[in-house]
Each structure stands twice: as structure tokens, then as C-alpha cells.
Structure 1
Amino acid sequence: MTMTKNIGDTDRTIRLIAGLLLIFWSITAGNGMAFIGIYLLATVYFRTDPIYGFLGWNIRASSEDITDGGTQKMQVEQQPPVEEQSRARVEAAESTRRAGAVDGNL
């Protein structure tokens, strides 16, 4: 399973700053916010967020999204629901099995 890059540069910058601040705050105040900070820094490093992946979001700018001013616009791409993907896999396996049975391979 490959991890799809699903966070953009602006999102990474915000996560980096927030993660470092949460870790610093956790060290100075003695609370448990360091875990959230570590999670944010991990998403910055790997350029992927498992929560975004679970929700089917892909928030990043691609090369064709660059506007004439040089700024990048964010886009959200919806992926098909997991149930739909699973159903497609089952149907493909069934059709392959049926084709093998017709050819006498099974």
C-alpha cells in the first residue's frame, strides 16, 4: 500500500508551526499535547495525513492549479468510498473466476 501525498505546502507550514508550538507548550506546561504535536510533525515529514485519507480528501496544489499571479489554489479531490472500491474488486474477481470456468481452466 502506498501513501498518497494529500497535504499541500500551506498546510505543511501551518502543521509545522503548530506542531512545534504544541510540543514546546507540552514541555513547559507538562500537559499531554506533545502527542498531537508529534502527529502534526509526522504528517509534515511524510506529506500525508491518514485522517484526510480516511475521509477521501486530497488537499494540495498541482502544477495545473497555479494561477497567473503565481499563487496556488487549494483543491479537494473526493475519492470513491471504500465500499464502492471493495464492490468493484469483488465484481472483478467474480468476472475473472467466471471467465476461467468458461474456458475450462477451473
Structure 2
Amino acid sequence: MTRNMGGIDRAIRIVAGLLLIAFALGLGFPQTGWNVVGWIGVVPLLTALIGWCPAYSLIGVNTCSRASNA
């Protein structure tokens, strides 16, 4: 698995993932019937932590800078 996510992409995914998980847990968000949907935040969080997105691989996207593509 070659990294295909750059730093900005990873940072955005970490923030989005944490916000979605906070929504699922009701931390700072109202409890609704849709809070369970927030658990989808685990996906962007994990992809950001490993630096590889399977969807990017399928469509040929690479947001890494060429010099740091390790």
C-alpha cells in the first residue's frame, strides 16, 4: 500500500472523523435518532491515520506531493 493522501487531506479527514464520532456520542450535539450515523466517522479517521484511501486507489487519485510519496 503506497500512501496516496497528502497532509492537508489527512488533517481534514481527522477533523471530520472526530466531529462525526463526537456527534455519535452526543458530545456537544443534541441527541437525535440520527446520532448512530456519526459512527461513519471511523472510516475517514482510519484512512487518515494510515495515509491510504482505497477509494482513491480505485479512481487513481493521489494527493501526496511527489517528493514524499513513500
TM range (shorter): 0.7 to 0.9
Q: Deviation digits for residues 60-105 of structure 1, max 9, x if unmatched?
A: 11339xxxxxxxxxxxxxxxxxxxxxxxxxxxxxxxxxxxxxxxxx
Choose 1 or 2 for highest CA Rg: 1
Secondary structure of 1:10's partner? Answer: helix
TM-score, length of structure 1 as denominator length = 0.53
Q: Aligned pair 1:57/2:61, yes or no?
A: yes
Matching residue's letter, 2:37: G
Larger relative contact order (Cα-Cα within 8 Å, sequence gap ≥ 6): 2
Q: Which runs of 5+ in 1 are unaligned?
A: 65-106
Q: State TM-score, norm by structure 2.
A: 0.77
Instruction: Say how many residue pairs are matched.
Output: 61
CA RMSD of aligned residues (A): 1.5
Note the residue ranges of structure 2 that are not aligned, 5 or more in a row.
Answer: none
Q: Which of residues 32, 45, 52 is equivalent to 2:49?
A: 45
Please name the residue that 2:38 is paired with.
Answer: 33
